[in-house]
Amino acid sequence: MRAEIYNHLEEIKQSIGLLRRHLDVDKAERRLAELNQLAESPDLWNDPAKASQVMRERTTLDAQLGAIKRFERDVDDAVTLIELGEAEEDESTVKEGENAVLGLAKEAARLQVETLLSGEADANDTYVEINSGAGGTESQDWAQMLLRMVTRWAERHKYKVELNDRNDGEEAGIKSATITVKGHNAYGWLKTESGVHRLVRISPYDSNARRHTSFASIWVYPVVDDRIEVDIKESDCRIDTYRSSGAGGQHVNTTDSAVRITHIPTGIVVACQSERSQHKNRATAWNMLRARIYEAELKKREEKANAAAASKTDIGWGHQIRSYVLQPYQLVKDLRTGVTSGTPSDVLDGDLDGFMEAALAQRIHGGGAVVEDID
């Protein structure tokens, strides 16, 4: 076995050992057995709040234990493949086993970071709100590119994406949009994308083919589940109804089904127009508002909560977390961690894991942000 592959295997085994200790596998298996018993009880759903908590904990533990067992099995399979290929002097079989090891090494590193997603709401589904900055069509087109980027990332990870609200630009792109991303640790991963994103490119909307700089923001806040109580006085809110915009068939623009809620004390505004029923849109908007207020409170309690303050600043120079340069050269650089990519097309197609893992590790372990800019 080549030394490089042997070293990767040792790193993978160390990662698995750390994961097992972090999770306390024996204790987790006993707890999962208890939760499975509770889940089979016909009386469980007499208390919906408790049932929801049980099912969530069960899903989380089952996923964590399953990932560790799968890794151990896949490592054994890869080693067996390499040994079989070496015994039979079959280079293609050896290569197949080595490629499996390289893939497992990357996944082990990612899983190790994911186990550190232990924040109060990290495991929750999440809302992602995207807003264009100043600059009209240019920034609105950029906002739509970011919406696609986040959606593609979610689809790559088998998360479910639902569109809650979309406000189209006059010529192209979007002024704003809000989506819900549903899946385990959706908020934990996507919270690293909160902030201002900067694009530098030759504008397709400029007849003189000049280079333009555009800004748009991504704002991420967790879906509030039944375990979390958020008290909002209806008297503190202004509720407006209006006609939906965008694609949607004959029903669109015929009734005031879209709902916008403004929380007057904080100035937080949420909107939903995804359903034909005003009642359903109102319920979703209330959930979004609860989530926004909870997220704001959550940030206050976090020791190193500077992301929210940065996200709420002007969408423009000096506030960006990441720059995407398409011309005259190609480079994506995260200004917090220094992580770069020379293939912006891949990043814009949802290849965000490297950026997310570095930002998450920085949030967990501390360390100053990288403030160097690129032109």
Taking alpha carbons only, the member of 182, 206, 207, 148 closest to residue 352 is 148
253 contacts 243 by C-beta, under 8 angstroms? yes
Helix (H) or strand (E) holding 176: strand 174-182
**Partners of 217 in the beta sheet?**
131, 196
When mean pLDDT is compared across 94-98, 108-112, 134-138, 350-354, the lowest value belongs to: 108-112
Residue written as tokens 């400029």? Answer: 206
SS3 102: helix
Taking alpha carbons only, the member of 137, 101, 119 closest to residue 6 is 101
Residue written as tokens 């089904």? Answer: 257
Share the mean pLDDT of the chain. Answer: 85
| Residue 116 or 291, more confident | 291
Give the mean model confidence (pLDDT) for residues 206-217.
86
When mean pLDDT is compared across 145-159, 215-229, 252-266, 312-326, the lowest value belongs to: 312-326
Q: Where are the domains of the chain?
A: 3-114, 123-375
Tell me the pLDDT tens digit for each residue of 167-203: 999 889 999 999 999 998 899 999 999 999 999 999 8
Q: pTM above the 0.85 mark?
A: no
Residue 166: CB atoms within 10 A of its CB come to 22
- Considering the segment(s) 123-375 as one domain, its CATH architecture is 2-Layer Sandwich (3.30)
Q: How confident is the model at residue 19 (pLDDT cuts 50, 70, 90)?
A: confident
Q: Which span out of 35-39, 143-147, 327-331 was modeled with the highest average pLDDT? A: 143-147
When mean pLDDT is compared across 23-37, 109-123, 208-222, 247-261, the lowest value belongs to: 247-261
Chain centroid, CA 212 distance in Å: 28
Q: Which span out of 47-51, 72-76, 220-224 was modeled with the highest average pLDDT? A: 72-76
Looking at CATH, the fold of the domain delimited by 3-114 is given as Methane Monooxygenase Hydroxylase; Chain G, domain 1 (1.20.58)
